[in-house]
Structure 1
Amino acid sequence: MTQQSPALYIFIVTIVTTVFTINVANVKCKAGFENVGQWCFSFYLVGKSLSDSIEICTKAGGNMVLIDEYRKIEMLRKHMKEKGLIHKLTVQNREEIRELTTYQENYCNTYKTNRLLKPAEEFYIPNAKLPVNFNGNGRARLTTPSGFFIAKSPIPSAGYGAWTKTRVRKYTVLGEYEGEEHKIEGNSPYSWVIYEDKKKEKRHFIDASSPAKSNWLRYINCARNVWEENVYSFVCDNLVFYMTTKEVEPNTEFLTWYGRNDGLMLGITKLHPASELDLNSTFYIRLSYMPQDFKKNDLKYHQNWFSNKHDIKENKIQYGILDSYHDGAWKIQRENNYTYYTGEDGFSVPFVCEHQPLDVK
């Protein structure tokens, strides 16, 4: 499969890193809002959808942040850093990624060294033993190990999914993904592409489209967001393994992210947030929103649109404007429509509300 880099849609706002000295005398804010420079902001660290963010800001007596001044964004960022709003989240996520990577590498090294010396059950949960006489097309289901089961997934159009009956510990390797191996690229949504060299010139495919030639892991569906993802898929020794990334509770469906960069040919054309956003090591907070069909990227246009209340009603479809922080750098970027994966509730991130300072007599 041809790998494509996911496009990032950037709201073009160049922020100059400058410390502004602002006279903040006589600035009064409503209850629940903080005085930051000459502005009044309220920070909501529990993630909400775009529509919920707008509603909450309105009920609080404010609105989403009006991006009308560079220095406002600068002061807002400075305040979030000083208050530690971004530190815990980014550090925690990086530690989780480092821990996962280390475990995966150690597992792979151990597997390659000992796979011919030890039985499969010492490395992962083996397939259930097949009965002597069975229907060939039922092979994949019949390989489901004890303690797991295949049942209808609640995810729209996902079909059947793989579930657990019991609690599964973090970093449990569920097994090896089985299928037909071939050299020709097809259109199967069950095919992994395995690169055999660093230059990615040699490759083969593991195709689990046939239930008669695959195992139960073919039923693990695509996660709709990073929070419900509980399985990580990785390649080791030209094989694909599935491993839990967290403790999985009983009667929970296993879900993994089949991204373009993971090499699975799903043929998905809808937009997954992980295709555009770094959900693991970047801090995101929603500042504002814009109509989806807007053409201009300047602050003046944003200010004019936001002040027109009738525009808000007429443009029923909006996208959010996120501020992101990664490795000491800030960037404003667009939040697209991810409801195909997130459901109608939408993409949940922390957000900021703003209101005009109260008159001080």
Structure 2
Amino acid sequence: MTEDVFCVAGLIIVYLISGSLLEGLTGLRCRPGFTLVGRWCFSVQLEPTSMLNSSEICHKQGAHMAVLDSREKEEVLVNYIEQMEFFNISQGRQELYKIAKMEWDVQTEKNKFCEDFKRYGSQSTSYRHIPNAKIPIGSPPHLRANLSTPQGFSLKLSSIPGAGMGAWTDQFVPRYTILGVYEGVIHTRDSDDDLYSWQVDKQGSNGTYVIDAADPSCSNWLRFVNSPTKVSEENVIPVSCEGIIFYMTTRDVEPGTELLVWYGDSYGRFLGVNRIHPEYDLNGSVAFRANVLTFSDDDVLVFDDWTPVTYQNWLENDSEDKDGSVAVDPIFGLLLTYHHDDQWHWVPERNYTYYTGPEGLQLPFFCEDSSYIPEVG
């Protein structure tokens, strides 16, 4: 077991990280429901729940979420986690793992499709390609995109509030069907205001260009495929291959379903939606919610009691912005994770509601009772 050193009334006591043993040796006590761990009283909550519920549960106990304000306290707590074998408890992330695996499988299929297209083009027998409908000669140019809608599909009001018209399937569409090529005006301007655009790498040279479907007279029906607000709605993915953008279904799509594709983070910000999978940050590691952090008016990071955060143990995140910061909400959870470098680190809890639903990430957590000072009995 892990040994540590504890000072009481000037005496040095070597103890095992066990509340009951320490209490027996020193007479120190925490109030009922809390365990003495090192010099602190903690209550472990193994039932995974959201950040908001975590805080409320601790407050109902007359406590607050664990405050990791020193290396000593953090080490004592993680030693306790290891001793009690909390690695084996439910993390409430099974469904999220399934979604992450499905997305990995889709990425693999994208690569397979591109290799197949390079060899066989749209004549491939491995993938079904749905062509545009033939546009009658003499049709008004502004109706080109509408009239290109294939048989078995239709354009009608989107299920996404404020999105206007959407593209729907009236037939069953199997997973990995190629819905067509995204058509539009080619240019090199790239702007967040280009809401109908995809950026594509130039073939055989450096740089990129943009396929802009804003003009319905120069685009096709795929311009009406809107962006989802949650992962359960997403059923189409863009595939960039040979300087072309294809739309591929990521799952079996039932008749009467709207086709929805994620247009990217810029468009997501326009909708007020973040598409961040928790495993992008946690990477399969064991995680516990420790505390809620926020930024003060002068951008100082503080705990929920407004005490400045002076000790930090952040895990470097490859999603950092150019200034080194990680995009988080003004109030966010502090996640204590055992990462693959066999070390405990902090990870900021970001907005994962695209994948988790409105309640957010469900995790086990710790409450701390700092109002009750352990005393010798």
Q: Which TM class, normalised by the smaller chain length?
A: 0.5 to 0.7
Alignment of 1:307-346 (within 5 A): 318-323=331-336, 327=340, 331-335=345-349, 346=358
**Pair 1:67 & 2:68 matched:** yes
**Pair 1:246 & 2:251 matched:** yes
Indicate the SS of the match to 2:173.
coil
C-alpha displacement of 1:108:
1.0
1:83 to 89, 92, 103: 89
User: Identity percentage over the alignment?
Assistant: 29
Alignment of 1:159-170 (within 5 A): 159-170=164-175
C-alpha displacement of 1:238:
0.8
- In the other structure, the counterpart of 2:226 is 221
Give deviations 1:269-318, integer Å, cap 9, x for gaps: 67653469664973576443233436444xxx537448xxxxxxxxxx73
C-alpha displacement of 1:177:
0.9
Unaligned runs of 5+ in 1: 1-17, 307-316
CA distance in 2, matches of 1:196, 1:76: 55
How many residues align structurally?
A: 318
CA distance in 2, matches of 1:62, 1:166: 55
Superposition TM-score, scaled by structure 2 size: 0.65
CA distance in 1, matches of 2:249, 2:105: 13
- In the other structure, the counterpart of 2:362 is 350
- In the other structure, the counterpart of 1:23 is 18
CA distance in 1, matches of 2:223, 2:32: 55
Q: Is the 8 A contact 1:90 1:281 kept in 2?
A: no
- In the other structure, the counterpart of 1:137 is 142
C-alpha displacement of 1:235:
0.3
CA distance in 1, matches of 2:294, 2:348: 11
- 1:193 alignment partner AA: Q
Indicate the SS of the match to 2:362.
strand
Alignment of 1:24-39 (within 5 A): 24-25=19-20, 39=42
Alignment of 1:204-219 (within 5 A): 204-219=209-224
Q: Is the 8 A contact 1:195 1:203 kept in 2?
A: yes
2:292 to 289, 294, 298: 289
CA distance in 1, matches of 2:124, 2:226: 28
Report which of the two structures shows the higher radius of gyration computed on alpha carbons: 2
Higher relative contact order (CA 8 A, sep 6+): 1
1:102 to 97, 108, 111: 108
Indicate the SS of the match to 1:273.
coil
C-alpha displacement of 1:268:
4.2
CA distance in 2, matches of 1:183, 1:99: 32
CA distance in 2, matches of 1:19, 1:111: 61
CA distance in 2, matches of 1:28, 1:157: 54
CA distance in 2, matches of 1:176, 1:34: 61
Q: Is the 8 A contact 1:231 1:245 kept in 2?
A: yes
Q: Is the 8 A contact 2:155 2:166 kept in 1?
A: yes
Superposition TM-score, scaled by structure 1 size: 0.67
C-alpha displacement of 1:333:
3.2
CA distance in 1, matches of 2:228, 2:280: 13
Q: Is the 8 A contact 1:229 1:256 kept in 2?
A: yes
C-alpha displacement of 1:70:
0.8
- 1:293 alignment partner AA: S
- 2:364 alignment partner AA: V
Q: Is the 8 A contact 1:143 1:215 kept in 2?
A: yes
- 1:348 alignment partner AA: G
Query: Which 10-residue stretch deviates more, 68-77 or 135-144?
Result: 68-77
